[in-house]
Amino acid sequence: MNYENIYIEEENKIAVITIDRPKKLNALNKDTIYELHEAFKELNADAEIKTIIITGSGEKAFVAGADISEFAHFSVKEGGKLAAKGQEILFDLIENLSTPVIAAVNGFALGGGLELAMACHFRVATDNAKMGLPEVSLGVIPGYGGTQRLPQLVGKGKAMELIMTAGMLDAQKALDCGLVNYVVAQEELLPLCQKLASKISNNSSVAIKQAIKAVNAGYSYDKNGYAVEIDAFGGCFGTKDFKEGTTAFLEKRKANFPGS
């Protein structure tokens, strides 16, 4: 597929998706959400890609928010459909993707941009990053999972404060409350993400897929996370990766996982 709003680079089993709308500070519009949906599906189906990094072009913004001009005149029905569709095809897709996704937050991550980052499996930010959910200042609430994922990451009280004040966190405060895992200088952002991605890529992709599934189950209202973990743990014993991993350990060598 030819992309107009994003581009993809692949190297050493790592794919980097860059949202490329610098004049709009990489704001998410309908077309960009669809292109990201297609890109994540395509990369997830590629057995050679072990980790995905998503970032924004330039040094000002990861994603400065949703493109408000697209939905400013929507009806109640249209607004509900917008949120439902976006969550289904992108935000929930990323959260449950079997390939690990790292958000490289380079600058502003506001509204839908922060929701995109939070849907990723974890986040690394530049020291100039600013994060927040300002939707209530527009008379609406976060609609791409922000009211659910932010409390999971920072706790209910802090999430309530951030959502109700429409305030922003700087990178250090985001690190302090667990919203991001690391804060680095701009030039160190992608190198660190690639280093982390490389470490992930050395491990069993089959086991990682099951770990993502089990962790997410613990935050789902209709699943028993412990039961999912037990089932996933047992299932790993029937894989070639388990046989290779345990054999390599006993033989005191590095594992070469077949990925099945």
| 42 is an active site residue | no
Sorted by sequence, the CB contacts under 8 Å of residue 90 that are 6+ apart come out as: 33, 36, 37, 40, 116, 119, 144
Give the N- to C-terminal CA distance of the chain in Å, as an integer. 28
Catalytic residue among 115, 161, 229, 244: 115
CB atoms within 10 A of CB 28: 26
Residue found by looking up tokens 């929930």 in the block: 92
Handedness of CA 99, 100, 106, 109 (dihedral sign): positive
Catalytically annotated residue among 42, 135, 187, 251: 135
Q: Is the dihedral of CA 70, 64, 194, 122 positive or negative?
A: negative
Tell me the C-alpha distance between 119 and 161, whole Å: 20
Neighbouring C-beta atoms of residue 72, cutoff 10 Å: 8
Active site residue 187: no
Q: In this structure, what are the phi and psi dihedrals at residue 25, rounded to the nearest 5 degrees?
A: 50, 35
Q: How far apart are CA 64 and CA 132, in angstroms?
A: 10
Q: State how far the Cα of 51 lies from the Cα of 190, in Å rounded to an integer.
A: 13
Task: Name the residues annotated as catalytic.
Answer: 115, 135
